Amino acid sequence: EYLKRIKKYDKGIKSFISVGEEAAIARARAIDQKMYKGVDLGMMEGIPVGIKDNICTEGMRTTCASRMLEDFIPPYNAGVIDRLRDAGAVVLGKLNMDEFAMGSSNENSAFFPTRNPWDTDRVPGGSSGGSAAAAAAGFAKITYGSDTGGSIRMPASFCGLVGVKPTYGTVSRYGLIAFGSSLDQIGPFARTVEDAAYGLECIQGFDPKDATSIESGYSKDYSESMKTGVKGLRIGIPKEFIGEGINEEVRKSMLDAAAILEKQGAIVEEFSLPITESGLSAYYIISSAEASSNLGRYDGVRFGYRARDFESYSDLVVKSRTEAFGDEVKRRIMMGTYVLSSGYYDAYYKKAMLFRQKVKQLYKTAFEKYDTILSPTVPVLPFKIGEKTSDPLEMYLADILTVNVNIAGIPAISVPSGFSESGLPIGVQFMGDHMSEEKLFRFAWSLE
């Protein structure tokens, strides 16, 4: 049924880069057999899922929406894919994204832009826009994306979905093609909080193949514990997150969400968290620096596309990279190498790292007082395709409310909070202390 639906409707949405029809059907058949035989079923047995195309799937093309990896077929599965398979999920295919996860609209895909199912003239958000559009259009029950600076939460908000960015280190990054390794984290999209909870329960946990993986301290049953509600819990709203530059309807929707939770017994308070603007600068410095290093491996020799005509080794590398990387990726590599170069290192990278410590400290202090910090997820409504492509800075501003979560490594969940008058989805995000996902799910479930 899901494959039929994809065939029929994805022409208008363009969320999939590859659909693995045969493999999905074979797997579904095997699960049927298991059911007839009465074998114990996994928690995701038979559940159709979609995967962002930067998560490696053995035998299934994984492109990062880049010409650089257009023909790359991974010989191994990412950690999360093994977990999903062990739990019985059926992977339907690979989802569109901004090239190497750099972007906020999906327009940086080297192949085609994905459209927002709520209004196909508008972007689904990015960079996991294909994952969001596919879940919103009912092409898969749960989809997975990656969040380096908001790439799960932002498209979740734009497509009326629940999207989870877990605590750094709780979901394996093994087999996730790296963008900013100290920021990247995989997480689920779903139409309900409960499905998102299952989606996370299934993929989290220690993985010895990921050096930053956390060994213990996980809570397991979000889908159960979230039903205890929010009575007596404290919500802090940073006034800097609802000030200038925030769309009026977005602000109102967040205040409505706070009022709903207050009615259920939560205590709501405004406070000051002065990190938005510097956070955005720090994010673009740190993530670009890490990207410039991570993307060094695509030289046409070790990995990726190889130019046809070349005269020397350096000519081969230059030509391969020039031909196969898109503009945004090149921009990030140039920014990254610039901020890391001697003479500029102290002025940019070092400063950003110092600011990173400050962000961590400010959050830590805030979480001594509040169980969650609430804010809008994105300052603007889903915008039109083409509206922001000519001005990269304008595009970067869409991330201003999400990036600090990654800088601090804390978890956050974006949950639908309503619609604009024009019928476009709006979302809010709950941020929490490290490993406080359980609490965040309580807030998300209570709002839903």
Active site residues: 52, 127, 151
Contact flag: residue 257 with ligand GLN (CB under 6 A): no
Burial class (CB in 10 A: 0-12, 13-18, 19+), 181: middle
151 is an interface residue for ligand GLN by CB under 6 A:
yes
Q: Omega of the bond prior to 293 within 30 degrees of 0, cis?
A: no
Among 63, 104, 213, 294, binds ligand GLN (CB under 6 A): 104
Q: Are 163 and 40 in contact (CB under 8 A)?
A: no
Among the candidate windows 100-108, 131-139, 337-345, 368-376, which touches ligand GLN by CB under 6 A? 100-108
Min separation Cβ 47 and ligand GLN, Å: 25
Site string for ligand GLN, 262-291 (x = CB under 6 A): -------------------------x----
Q: How far is the CB of 330 from ligand GLN (least distance, A)?
A: 14
Among positive and negative, which fits the CA dihedral 237, 443, 147, 289? positive
Smaller CB distance to ligand GLN: residue 101 or 226?
101
* The binder of ligand GLN chosen from 174, 179, 241, 348 (CB under 6 A): 179
Regarding 383 and contact with ligand GLN (CB under 6 A), the answer is: no
- SS3 call for 202: helix
The neighbour count for residue 172, using CB atoms within 10 Å, is 25
Per CB under 6 A, contacts with ligand GLN among 187-246 are none
Instruction: Report CA dihedral (337, 66, 75, 84) to the nearest 10 degrees.
Output: 100
Query: Per CB under 6 A, which of residues 324..353 are in contact with ligand GLN?
Result: none
- With DSSP H G I counted as helix, E B as strand and the rest as coil, what are the percentages for the chain, rounded to 5? 40, 15, 40
- CB-hemisphere CA count at 13 Å for 435? 11
380 in contact with ligand GLN (CB under 6 A): no
Taking the least distance from each CB to ligand GLN, the nearer of 284 and 370 is 284
Task: Check binding of 150 to ligand GLN (CB under 6 A).
Answer: yes
Q: Are 435 and 182 in contact (CB under 8 A)?
A: no
Q: Which stretch binds ligand GLN (CB under 6 A): 35-43, 95-103, 335-343, 377-385?
A: 95-103
CB of 319 to ligand GLN, least distance (A): 26
Our CB check for ligand GLN shows the closer of 53 and 399 to be: 399
Q: Is 103 in the site for ligand GLN (CB under 6 A)?
A: yes
Give every CB contact of residue 367 below 8 A, 6+ residues apart in sequence.
373, 432, 433, 436
Instruction: Determine contact, residues 285/339, Cβ cutoff 8 Å.
Output: yes
Q: Applying CB under 6 A, which of residues 19, 92, 102, 266 lies at the interface with ligand GLN?
A: 102
Question: How far apart, in Å, do the first and last CA atoms of the chain sit?
Answer: 27
Helix (H, G, I), strand (E, B) or coil at 393: helix
Q: What is the DSSP letter of 295?
A: G
In the block, tokens 């994105």 appear at: 378
Distances (CA, A) of 112 to 13, 107, 365, 385, 402: 10, 7, 44, 12, 25
Q: Applying CB under 6 A, does 101 fall inside the site for ligand GLN?
A: yes
Q: Does residue number 399 form part of the binding site for ligand GLN (CB under 6 A)? A: yes
β-strands 372-376, 412-419: how paired?
unpaired
Choose the stretch contacting ligand GLN; rule: CB under 6 A; options: 144-152, 233-241, 244-252, 411-419: 144-152
| Minimum distance from residue 60 beta carbon to ligand GLN (Å) | 21
And the tokens for 30?
A: 């095997």
Q: Which stretch binds ligand GLN (CB under 6 A): 102-110, 311-319, 386-394, 417-425?
A: 102-110
How many residues in the shown chain lie near ligand GLN by CB under 6 A? 14
The footprint of ligand GLN (CB under 6 A) covers 101-104, 127, 146-151, 179, 287, 399
